[in-house]
Amino acid sequence: MNAVNVIALTAPQPTPTWYLVLGAVLFGIGAFGVMVRRNPLVLFMCIELMLNAVNLSFVALSVRNDNIDGQTAVFFVLVVAAAEVVVGLGIIVSILRRRSGATADDISELSG
């Protein structure tokens, strides 16, 4: 078989634009979940999804611009997010153990 007649099938290479679109879709899903859902645990997960979508966008833009600043920002955001998850999830789980049917509106009354 002639080398000219053989078509090399290769998978398309993802570009930073693909990751930006994925980040926008994930952020939209998270924002929709925050607006629609009332369960505090689901709200917390949707907020984390939005945070990770922004992190994905930071990394994609830093790769596109050939700059490490976005990746450095993501590192610090992930460190703060880990601390937030520990404290926030502990508070939410303790509230849901006391009142199993608690909603986000019930939790907002705790602000004082």
Query: Do 55 and 74 touch, CB atoms closer than 8 A?
Result: yes
The answer to whether residue 9 is domain-embedded is: no
The answer to whether residue 37 is domain-embedded is: yes
The answer to whether residue 11 is domain-embedded is: no
Q: What is the predicted pLDDT for the residue at 92? A: 84
The answer to whether residue 49 is domain-embedded is: yes
Please count the structural domains in the chain.
1
pLDDT tens digit at each of 112 positions of the chain: 555 555 667 878 889 999 999 999 999 999 999 999 888 889 989 999 999 999 999 999 999 999 999 999 999 999 999 998 899 888 888 888 888 877 877 777 766 6
Q: End-to-end distance of the chain based on CA atoms, in angstroms?
A: 79
Quickly tell me which residue has 């078989």 as its tokens: 1
The answer to whether residue 106 is domain-embedded is: no
Q: Which domain holds residue 95?
A: 16-99
**Amino acid identity at 60:** A
Q: What is the predicted pLDDT for the residue at 3? A: 54
The answer to whether residue 83 is domain-embedded is: yes
Q: Chain centroid to CA 99: how far? A: 28
The answer to whether residue 80 is domain-embedded is: yes
Q: Round to whole Å and give the CA distance between 51 and 82.
A: 11
CATH code for the domain in which residue 66 is found: 1.10.287.3510
Q: Which two tokens stand for residue 46?
A: 């949707």
Residue 40's closest CA among 105, 104, 95? Answer: 104
The pTM assigned to this predicted structure is 0.78
Read off the pLDDT of residues 26-43 as tens digits, 9 standing for 90 and up: 999 999 999 998 888 899
